[in-house]
């Protein structure tokens, strides 16, 4: 995150590094789409959301009981995610600002989003 390797840091040290990233949120996302030929199409992409002061992401996430990971469950009208237009309901969030969240809980991902947005941010609008 911002040039810091978090692999061998404590939780508190990692949170402190993440708190330093207050304006931009970098998400890596997995999108799976069924194709008409019974072949699954998938795409992994990274998007950077440039947040202005006080602006919420407008994103809700949820974990699935029988599946790993955290997925976009809702996109709030008028939020940054809707205005950006790249995320869709059902997309899986793979990382937040370089932190791998593929096997993380919903609560962990929400906490990362809130920390990355700083004191005025809200991971779930």
* CATH number for the domain that contains residue 106: 2.30.42.10
Residue at 124 is within a domain: no
What is the per-residue pLDDT across 61-116, written as a single tens digit (0 to 9) for each?
999 777 678 999 999 999 889 999 999 999 999 999 888 998 888 888 888 888 76
Which residue, among 3, 4, 54, 46, has the nearest Cα to 25 in the 3D structure?
Answer: 46
Question: Which of the two residues, 8 and 24, has the higher pLDDT score?
Answer: 24
Residue at 91 is within a domain: yes
Instruction: Please tell me what DSSP assigns to residue 79.
Output: S
Q: Which residues lie across from 92 on neighbouring strands? A: 30, 71
Q: What pLDDT is recorded for position 83?
A: 92
Residue at 77 is within a domain: yes
Domain around 58: 11-117
- How far is residue 44's CA from residue 63's CA, in Å, rounded to a whole number? 19
Residue at 21 is within a domain: yes
Residue at 4 is within a domain: no
Residue at 64 is within a domain: yes
- Name the pTM for this structure: 0.65
Give the count of domains, the chain. 1
What is the per-residue pLDDT across 31-61, written as a single tens digit (0 to 9) for each?
776 544 554 556 888 988 887 766 788 999 9
Q: What pLDDT is recorded for position 56?
A: 80
Residue at 1 is within a domain: no
Q: What pLDDT is recorded for position 123?
A: 44
Q: What pLDDT is recorded for position 120?
A: 45
């Amino acid at each position: 995150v911002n040039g810091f390797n978090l692999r061998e840091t404590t939780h508190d040290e990692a949170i402190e590094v993440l708190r330093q990233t207050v304006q931009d949120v970098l998400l890596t996302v997995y999108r799976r789409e069924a194709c008409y030929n019974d072949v699954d199409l998938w795409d992994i992409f990274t998007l950077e959301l440039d947040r202005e002061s006080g602006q919420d992401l407008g994103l809700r996430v949820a974990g699935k009981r029988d599946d790993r990971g955290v997925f976009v469950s809702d996109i709030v009208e008028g939020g940054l995610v809707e205005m950006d237009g790249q995320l869709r309901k059902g997309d899986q969030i793979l990382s937040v600002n370089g932190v791998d969240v593929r096997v993380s809980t919903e609560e962990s991902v929400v906490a990362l989003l809130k920390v990355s947005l700083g004191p005025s941010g809200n991971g779930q609008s």
